[in-house]
Amino acid sequence: MLTLLRAVIGRDLRLAMRRQADIVAAMFFFIIVVSLFPLGVGPEPDQLRRMAPGVLWVAALLATMLSLPRLFADDHRDGTLEQLALAPQPLGLIVLGKVIAHWLVAGLPLVVLAPVLGVQFDLAADALGVLVLSLLIGTPALSGIGAIGAALTLGVRGGGVLLSLLVLPLYIPVLIFGAGAVDATVSGLGPQAHLSLLGALALGGVFFAPWPTAAALRVALE
Amino acid sequence: MLEASNLECVRGERRLFTDLNFRLAGGEMLHLQGSNGSGKTSLLRMLCALTPAASGEIFWRGRAIAKLGEEFRSELCYLGHQNAIKEELTPLENLLSSAELAQETLAEDAAFDALAMVGLRGREDLACRYLSQGQKRRAALARLVNEKRALWVLDEPYVALDAAAVELVASLIGAHLQAGGLAVLTTHQAVAVPAGAVRELWLGDADARQRSQ
Amino acid sequence: MTERVINWFKYASPQTFYPLAGRLIPWFWALAALFGAAGLTIGFLLAPTDAQQGEGYRIIFLHVPASWLSMFIYLVMAFWAGIGLAFNIRLSGMMASALAPTGALFAFLSLWTGALWGKPMWGTWWVWDARLTSELILLFLYIGFIALQAAIDDPRRADKAGAILALVGVVNIPIIYFSVKWWNTLHQGASVSLTKAPSMAAMMLWGMLLCALGCWMYSIAIALMRVRTIMLERERHTDWVRSLLDDKG
C-alpha cells in the first residue's frame, strides 16, 4: 500500500518538476492577487492588518482552483487515468497519492510564500506564525476537497468555471476556520479552537474525499 | 476462462450491439472486427469493467467481473486507444512507472531490454514528446514484453507501427497465448499470430461484413 | 418480502411511473391550492399584527416555509440520488434532477423574502446573519448541482456525477452550517434572528404550517410534472414513449 502511494506521489512530483512553469504561475497568481488588495482598499495599516487573514486565505483558495483542473485532466487525455483505474489497488488510494502530490506542489508553496505577503499587510509576528500554521493545516483539505470537483468536471465542457462553482462553496468551512484562526490571534483570543477544527477538516478532506473522487473518476471513464 | 453472455451496448441513443455471446479459453485469442463505430472499443472497455454493459454479464473464471474488482484487475492488462505514455517522461521512466503502479517488479535491466526489443535502443532517456507517433506506440507496447498477466485486452495494437514492429507485437501475443494466456484485440490489419487459436467476432450488421470480405 | 421488492421495482420503471404520476399530479395541485389558500388566509387576514414588527412580519408566512423546503428538498434530492447510485435505478436520478430547480427556487425565495423582511426590520437588505448566509451557500450548492448536470451530455453520467455531488453536499451542509454559525457568533452579526419571533401566537404557527404544507404539495406536483418531461425526453426512442405520442398525435 505504501509502495503504491510512494509510486504515485513520486510520479506526479517528477511530472510537476518537468513542468515547473505551472507551479510558478500559480505562485505568482497568489502573490499578485494578494498585492492587489492594498491598491484597491488603500494603504492604512490598521485596515490592512484586519483584512490580511481573509485576503490571504481567499487568495489561497483561488490559487488552488487554478491548479486543480490539471489534477486529472492530463492523465485523462493521454490514457494514463484508465491504467490507474485498472491498477489492482483501490482507486481511492491512488487518488490519495495524487492529492498528496498536488498539495506538495500547489499547497506547500502557498504556505512558504504566506509570511512574506503577511509582512506586506503589517501582520505581527505571532499572527504571521498562526497564518503559516493555519495554511499548513488547511491547504491539504483544499487539495482533497478540490479533487472531488476536479474528478466530477473531468472532460466536461466549461470544466474550469464549473469546477470553481462546485468546489468553492465546499471550501467555506476551511476559509472560516483558517482565516478565523489568524483573526482570533490578532484579537487576543487563542487560535487553538480554530486550528483543531481546521485539522479535523483537513483529516476529513484528505482521507474521505479520495473515495467520492474515485467514484467520480470511474463515472468519468465510462 | 473469459465468458460474455447477452451483452448489450448502448451509446447515447444508439444500440450498438445486443445479445453478444462468446467464450474464450486459455491460449485463445479473440479477434474483434467491425466497421468504425460498431462498438469494438466499447466492448473492450466493457471487458475491462471500465464501462458497464447496458445488460448482460461478463465472467472471468466463472465469476462476474463486476463483483471480482481488484482480483480481476490484477490479471488484466489493457492497452487502450491512447498510449498512456507521459510526454514529459522518458520511455524508460514510463515503463518503470507503469510497472510500479501496477505493483509489478521490473528490474531496470529488464526494462532496458524490453525497450531495445521494441526498437527504442538509444532513446531510453529522451523525453517521449520528442518521439514520433510510431515510437510512442512502441514505448507503450514495451509493456507487453514482460507482461505476465493472463488477460490482454488490446485496442488496435498495430496502429502506427511499421511492418517489423507489427511482427514483433504479433510474436509477443503468440508467446503469451502459448503460455496459456488470453488475448482480445481489435485491428483492421490482417496479422497472423504465430501460435494459439484465433476466434473471430464480427460486430455490426451483416452487410458491413460482406462488404469488407 | 421478495414480492414487495418486485412490486416496488415495477413502479421504478419510467413506463409504469409515467401514467401513475400523471394521475397524481392534479391531486397534489388541488392540495397545494387548498393548503396555500388556507395558510395565506390565516397569515394575512386572521393572524394578529405583531406588536414589535407590525404588518411587515407577515412575510414569514412565505419566508419560513421556503427556507424549510429548500433544506428539506436538498435532503430528498440527495436521498434519491443516493438510491439511484446504489441500485442503478434510472427513475431515482430523474427524480433528483427534477427536484433541483424547485429546491433552488425555494432557496432563492427564502433569500428574497429575507431581504424584503430585513429592509423594514434592520433597515438594510442584507445582513450576514448565520441563517441567511447558510441559505445563500445552499443556493450555491443547488446551482452547482444544476450546472454540473447541464454540462454533461450523457444523461446517465449526468445522473451519477450529480448524485456524487449531492451526497458530498449533504455531508458538507452540517459542517458548513456549523462553521457559518461559529463565524457569525465570533463577528457579532445580526442580533435579531429571522425565525425567532418573540412569542409566536398559535394562529401564526398554524398559518405557517399550512403554508409549508401548501409549498410541499406544490413541490411534489411540480417535481412530478418535471420528471414526466424528463422521462419523455430521455426515453423518446423507446417503444412506450413512441406509442404514447402516437396516441396523442
HEC string for chain C? CHHHHHHHHHHHCHHHHHHHHHHHHHHHHHHHHHHHHHHHHHHHHHCCCECCCEHHHHHHHHHHHHHHHHHHHHHHHHHHHHHHHHHCCHHHHHHHHHHHHHHHHHHHHHHHHHHHHHHHHHCCCCCCCHHHHHHHHHHHHHHHHHHHHHHCCCHHHHHHHHHHHHHHHHHHHHHHHHHHHHHHHHCCCCCCCCCCCCCCCHHHHHHHHHHHHHHHHHHHHHHHHHHHHHHHHHCCCCHHHHHHHHHHC
- The answer to whether the Cβ–Cβ distance between C151 and A156 falls below 8 Å is yes
Phi-psi label, residue A52: left if phi above 0, alpha if psi -120 to 50, beta otherwise = alpha
Q: Which of B12, B7, B13, B48 is CA-nearest to residue B201?
A: B7
- The answer to whether the Cβ–Cβ distance between A180 and C182 falls below 8 Å is yes
| Strand bridging mode B182-186 / B28-33 | parallel
Which residue in chain A has the smallest CA separation from B68? A88
Q: Pick B70's closest partner by Cβ from A78, A88, A218.
A: A88
Per-residue pLDDT, C187: 63
What is the pLDDT of chain B when averaged over all its residues?
Answer: 84
Which residues in chain C (150-209) have CB-CB distances under 8 A to chain A? Answer: 151-152, 156-157, 160-161, 164-165, 167-169, 172, 175-176, 178-180, 182-183, 186
Q: Sort out which chain A residues have CB atoms less than 8 A from C176's CB and list them.
A: 169-170, 172-173
Q: Are C28 and C217 contacting, i.e. CB atoms less than 8 angstroms apart?
A: yes
Q: Pick B48's closest partner by Cβ from A14, A86, A90.
A: A86
Tell me which residue has cell 501582520. Answer: A123
B128, amino acid identity:
C
Provide the 10 A C-beta neighbour count for residue C211. Answer: 25
Task: Please tell me the distance from the alpha carbon of residue C46 to that of residue A109, in angstroms, as a whole number.
Answer: 63
**A188 and chain C in contact, CB less than 8 A:** no
- The answer to whether the Cβ–Cβ distance between B82 and A3 falls below 8 Å is no
Q: Which of A198, A46, A39 is CA-nearest to residue A131?
A: A198
Task: Please tell me the distance from the alpha carbon of residue B26 to that of residue B177, in angstroms, as a whole number.
Answer: 7
**A55 and chain C in contact, CB less than 8 A:** no
Here the cell at position C219 is 413541490
Per-residue pLDDT, C194: 47
- The answer to whether the Cβ–Cβ distance between A78 and B93 falls below 8 Å is no
B114, amino acid identity:
A
Q: Pick A219's closest partner by Cβ from C144, C157, C175.
A: C157
Low-confidence ranges of chain C (pLDDT < 70): 1-11, 51-52, 186-201, 248-249
> Where does the pLDDT of residue B192 fall: very low under 50, low under 70, confident under 90, or very high at 90 and above?
confident
pLDDT digits (tens, 9 = 90+) for C109-131: 999 998 888 888 778 888 887 88
Per-residue pLDDT, C51: 66
**pLDDT-wise least confident of A91-100, B168-177, C98-107:** B168-177
Which residue in chain A has the smallest CA separation from B143? A83
Torsions phi, psi for B72 (to 5 deg): -75, -45
pLDDT digits (tens, 9 = 90+) for B69-114: 888 888 899 998 888 888 888 999 999 888 888 878 888 888 888 8
Per-residue pLDDT, C14: 81
Task: Please tell me the distance from the alpha carbon of residue B153 to that of residue B143, in angstroms, as a whole number.
Answer: 13
From A217's Cα to the closest Cα of chain C, the distance in A is 9
pLDDT digits (tens, 9 = 90+) for A134-173: 999 999 999 999 999 999 999 888 888 999 999 999 999 9
Which residues in chain A (104-133) have CB-CB distances under 8 A to chain B? Answer: none
**A157 and chain B in contact, CB less than 8 A:** no
Q: Are B65 and B59 contacting, i.e. CB atoms less than 8 angstroms apart?
A: yes
Instruction: Enumerate neighbours of C (3 or more CB pairs within 8 A).
Output: A
Q: Which residues make Cβ contacts (< 8 Å) with residue A51, sequence separation at least 6? A: A37, A41, A121
pLDDT digits (tens, 9 = 90+) for A21-76: 888 999 999 999 999 999 998 889 888 988 899 999 999 999 999 999 989 999 99
From B71's Cα to the closest Cα of chain A, the distance in A is 7
Q: Which of A87, A106, A74, A70 is CA-nearest to residue A218?
A: A87
Q: Between these two residues, B204 and A216, which has the higher pLDDT value?
A: A216
Classify the C-alpha dihedral B46-B47-B50-B52 as positive or negative. positive
The DSSP element (H or E) to which A165 belongs, if any, is helix A159-186
Here the cell at position C100 is 433541483
pLDDT digits (tens, 9 = 90+) for A108-138: 999 999 999 999 888 888 899 999 999 999 9
**B106 and chain A in contact, CB less than 8 A:** no
Question: B126 in helix, strand or coil?
Answer: coil
SS3 readout for B5-16: EEEEEEECCEEE
CA dihedral (C137, C142, C144, C147) in degrees, to 10, reads -150
Provide the 10 A C-beta neighbour count for residue C185. Answer: 10
User: What is the value of ipTM here, to two decimals?
Assistant: 0.90
HSE (side-chain half, CA atoms, 13 Å) at A202: 20
Residues A16-21, mean pLDDT to the nearest whole number: 88
Q: Pick A176's closest partner by Cβ from C143, C168, C180.
A: C180
The angle at the Cα of B64, spanning B14 to B158, to the nearest 5 degrees, equals 60
Domain limits, chain C: 32-47+56-242
From A164's Cα to the closest Cα of chain C, the distance in A is 9
pLDDT digits (tens, 9 = 90+) for B37-77: 888 888 999 999 898 888 888 999 888 888 888 888 888 99
Task: Please tell me the distance from the alpha carbon of residue B206 to that of residue B38, in angstroms, as a whole number.
Answer: 12
**A85 and chain B in contact, CB less than 8 A:** yes
pLDDT digits (tens, 9 = 90+) for A169-205: 999 999 999 999 998 888 888 888 889 999 999 998 8
Residues A77-87, mean pLDDT to the nearest whole number: 91
Task: Please tell me the distance from the alpha carbon of residue B78 to that of residue C116, in angstroms, as a whole number.
Answer: 60
Q: Which residues pair with B8 in a beta bridge?
A: B55
Domain limits, chain A: 2-221
The angle at the Cα of B49, spanning B46 to B53, to the nearest 5 degrees, equals 45
The angle at the Cα of A177, spanning A172 to A183, to the nearest 5 degrees, equals 120
Strands (E), B90-205: 151-155, 182-186, 197-202
Please count the residue pairs, one from chain A and one from chain C, whose beta carbons lie less than 8 angstroms apart. 74
Q: Are C47 and C203 contacting, i.e. CB atoms less than 8 angstroms apart?
A: yes
For A32, A52, C185, the CA distances from A127, given in Å and listed in that order, are 21, 10, 21
Task: Please tell me the distance from the alpha carbon of residue A103 to that of residue A202, in angstroms, as a whole number.
Answer: 12
- The answer to whether the Cβ–Cβ distance between B76 and A222 falls below 8 Å is no
- The answer to whether the Cβ–Cβ distance between B93 and A89 falls below 8 Å is no
Which residue in chain C has the smallest CA separation from A193? C182
Here the cell at position B65 is 467481473
Torsions phi, psi for C131 (to 5 deg): -70, -45
- The answer to whether the Cβ–Cβ distance between B76 and A77 falls below 8 Å is no
Q: Name the packing angle between helices C130-151 and C155-186 (round to 10°).
A: 160
B91, amino acid identity:
P
Q: Are B20 and B4 contacting, i.e. CB atoms less than 8 angstroms apart?
A: yes
Q: How many residues does chain C have?
A: 249
Which residue in chain A has the smallest CA separation from C136? A169
Q: Which residues pair with B79 in a beta bridge?
A: B154
